[in-house]
Chains A and B, each alone.
Chain A
Amino acid sequence: MLTDIIKADLECELWESLEAVTDPELDEPITDMGFVERAEVIGSKRVEVEFRLPTYWCSPNFAFLMAFGIRAEVCALPWVQEVQVTLNDHCFGDEVNEGVNSGKPFEEVFAQYCDGANLAEVVDTFRAKAFDRRQEVMLLALQAQGMTEAEIVSLTLAGFDRITMHGEEEERQKPRYRDLLLDQGLAENPEDLAFPTWEGQAIEAQELATHLVRLKGTRINMEFNGALCRGLASTRYKEVEIGPEGPTLVDFIAGRVPPREDHATRR
């Protein structure tokens, strides 16, 4: 009984740690996307995580990043001594699983599959897109609050911190935007601009509208892909049966793949 409670507590911590792993293409936590199918604590120090992407063909390099992201987050939990990460049903699954469980660093594992090249350029491209998407949410929110273009582009980090966001997405993205802004070194001090471009340039007030046109394109693409991925993940193992009421979707491997429990209910 006591061990059950401990196990439940640790698994709760485990799921929370997995929330920090994002799909680089979508800038969404893999837990929200429903990619994580099993996260289990065994004997209070071993962790096993299984995940599955929406299709067999999802980008292998991002699969590597997510697998190593899971390993890093799980290993950061003080009580974890052993971790096994498994990517299921993927065209590059064997390579990813062998690499992530080998104990070698990401760079070393990854480099062996692409003649020593690294992922820096691709990672940077998608960090820039994530930044743009988060920034757009902030800029639109401030416009909606009645701030002028001149006020927005000259807002400092300290000023940004004082602003209260309304709305679920705005509240969610505010700390995420701030984290990326600081992490990338685009703002360091309270008097630094809160809204530079990804290249570190200030935005002119009269350029803000054009800037937003570009950000919008990035956001629409990411949201569309996110919707597609969620949909594909939800139907990947379903088939159609034509009954008297017409076609219905049934899960043909129910029981074989563990159901995705809503981990929020575990808290």
Chain B
Amino acid sequence: MKYGAFISLAAAALMGGCASTTTVDDFRPTLELIDIEAGEKLAVLGRRDAGHYETDRSFIDCLGKRLARSNLQVISEQEFVDALYPWFEPRTAPKALKRLKRIMQDPAVREKVQLEKIRYLIWLEGEVETQGMSGAMSCGVVPGGAGCFGYNSWEKSAVFEAIVWDLVDLTEEARIRVDSEGTSYLIGIVAPIPLLTPVESQACEGMGEQLRSYFFQEEG
């Protein structure tokens, strides 16, 4: 009984340690809601120009789905880059508004954006990093069975930045930075038990909520 209670307490303490801390910083030139008409769409795109990493597609999908649940029409990344091929390929994608304005000077591009009713573009950049691995675990196999003993822990941090561009007015509407960090554990009590901190989904939730608040009035 005492042993069971001890394990429950230890697990609860560790689960408490798995909680993540998420910070959302944003900048907007105005406090007014972002204007979006019925039928107009948003596109969520990841930056692909960095050599050593690419913005995680699972984060892009997560944010797209979260915005779609808020009654916003979201066009997928692949649909968007195919619809405007080749202007959003890694070689050609605009990094700043100046370049976007130049691309939008092409009547064919402008017509396509109007035809597809794509009003806003959300650029995402960032990644999830793992660091500070500590602890030790050993696993073994004996004729009677197998098991692992010990523990490992590691820090995970997710840092993502979003920039919202208006494809009609060709202006920057908002910038958001989300930092989410937490510690994950792997406990070996015969079987290895992972207690993972969902930093990426926390960052997605934080960014999704912030973006949603730009388009819709907060209730209550």
Decide whether A and B assemble into one complex.
no
> B residues engaging A (CB < 8 A)?
none
> A residues engaging B (CB < 8 A)?
none
